[in-house]
Structure 1
Amino acid sequence: MTDAAQSRFDPDTLVDAVIDREGPYVNHPADRGGPTCWGITEAVARSQGYTGPMRSLPRDEAASIYRRIYWLRPGFDRIALRAPRIAAELFDTGVNMGCATATGFLQRALNALNRTARDYPDIAVDRAIGPRTLSALDAFLRTRGKGGENVLLRAIEALQGERYIALAERRPSQEAFLYGWLAHRIGQP
């Protein structure tokens, strides 16, 4: 991967892209997350010690929250050492759906792609990145070579897309967001 391509998957670049995509303060009536600023919900901001009005959440505070809660805490930094594009997708999915959900997508895809445990053992879909998930990822990448990261990325995005559609089907109010989710979350970073 070239330096330019690698910098595209740098955590600071990923955080800036999410903040740019999410934009400043929004309080959409159909958004179950309530008021958000830079994509940070009020509940998350408060849990991280922010006490001011959501409209005034500083961009750098949002960036710090993203790094701590959506990059380091779930272990996406450890995924980035092995597969930067997968880490970028997990980060973006984690921001939008929760880090545990993103990690579950990775684990499910790894299990489905291990050729009935011939390439590496199935792992628990515990929605947490630990040694077994990292070992399975290493084995997958070693077995599948250069194209493996692309295929794994597509599998994760397929699971994400299915979840968006199912959510819109279950809760028609979420149809207001479906087009944007599919346009801006699938096939990105």
Structure 2
Amino acid sequence: MDVDGMIDAVIDREGGYSDHRADRGGATRWGVTEAVARAQGWRGTMRALPRAEAATIYRRLYWTRPRLDDVAARAPLLAAELFDTGVNMGPATAICFLQRALNALNRSGGDYPDMVVDGRVGPATLAALDAFLASRGRAAENVLLKAVEALQGERYVALAERRPANEAFLYGWLANRMGQAGEGA
């Protein structure tokens, strides 16, 4: 699936307008929070945020800026998962999951050196990803995808444990966010 398809899938999954009392993100439309929309220049009401504007925000903030196109050139399923996770948790969190997984899978630095977990795709992250994929063969992307999803799932459970109001969202997060990006990709 290309980035336009991923954006459409996220928007479809997120739905239209929402303002759930337990959601700290407040009013959202197409999954874009009011704070994000305002920071990107939207001045209208959230109920009126056009789908095309949401798509532009998703492309800019959750695909291009975090350099997921560079990840997609190497591992498209992984990039799709990082995009979807980044929409829900923030791109830096998604990329930290990738960096942590790569560090843990490098066989004590035997395949490539550990990197700083900084939430940014840069030369060290891309070099580690290249080395991981080259050293582990055809199944490597799927294994890395599972590691990222495991970290994502643990984070969801921890969020619900720390803030009981988040329990209202845990089932949906696990049902609708885990492994969704790779389907149909």
CA distance in 1, matches of 2:129, 2:77: 13
Letter in 2 for 1:161: G
* CA apart distance, 1:187: 1.5
In the alignment, structure 1 residue 42 sits paired with structure 2 residue 31: no
Letter in 2 for 1:105: F
CA deviation vs aligned residue, 1:158-178 (integer Å, no higher than 9, x gap): 000000000000000000000
Letter in 2 for 1:38: W
Q: What's 1:72 paired with?
A: 64
Q: What's 1:132 paired with?
A: 124
In the alignment, structure 1 residue 163 sits paired with structure 2 residue 181: no
User: Share of identical aligned residues, percent?
Assistant: 70
CA distance in 2, matches of 1:163, 1:68: 25
Q: What's 1:81 paired with?
A: 73
* CA apart distance, 1:17: 0.2
Residue 32 of structure 1, aligned match among 24, 29, 40: 24
Q: Which runs of 5+ in 2 are unaligned?
A: none
CA distance in 2, matches of 1:143, 1:70: 29
* CA apart distance, 1:103: 0.4
Q: What's 1:4 paired with?
A: none
Structure 1's consecutive aligned runs of 4 or more residues displaced over 6 angstroms after TM superposition are: none
Q: What's 1:16 paired with?
A: 8
CA distance in 2, matches of 1:44, 1:145: 39
CA distance in 2, matches of 1:43, 1:187: 27
- Supply the RMSD in Å over aligned alpha carbons: 0.4
CA distance in 1, matches of 2:143, 2:28: 33
Query: SS at the partner of 1:51?
Result: coil
Q: What's 2:112 paired with?
A: 120
Q: What's 1:91 paired with?
A: 83
Query: SS at the partner of 2:139?
Result: helix
Letter in 1 for 2:118: D
* CA apart distance, 1:145: 1.1
Structure 2 length normalisation: TM-score? 0.97
CA deviation vs aligned residue, 1:41-82 (integer Å, no higher than 9, x gap): 000000000000000000000000000000000111110000
Query: SS at the partner of 2:137?
Result: helix
- Residue correspondences, number: 181
CA distance in 2, matches of 1:35, 1:87: 27
In the alignment, structure 1 residue 186 sits paired with structure 2 residue 182: no
CA distance in 2, matches of 1:128, 1:187: 22
In the alignment, structure 1 residue 152 sits paired with structure 2 residue 144: yes
Q: What's 1:173 paired with?
A: 165
Letter in 1 for 2:56: S
* CA apart distance, 1:38: 0.1
CA distance in 2, matches of 1:118, 1:104: 21
CA distance in 2, matches of 1:114, 1:74: 23
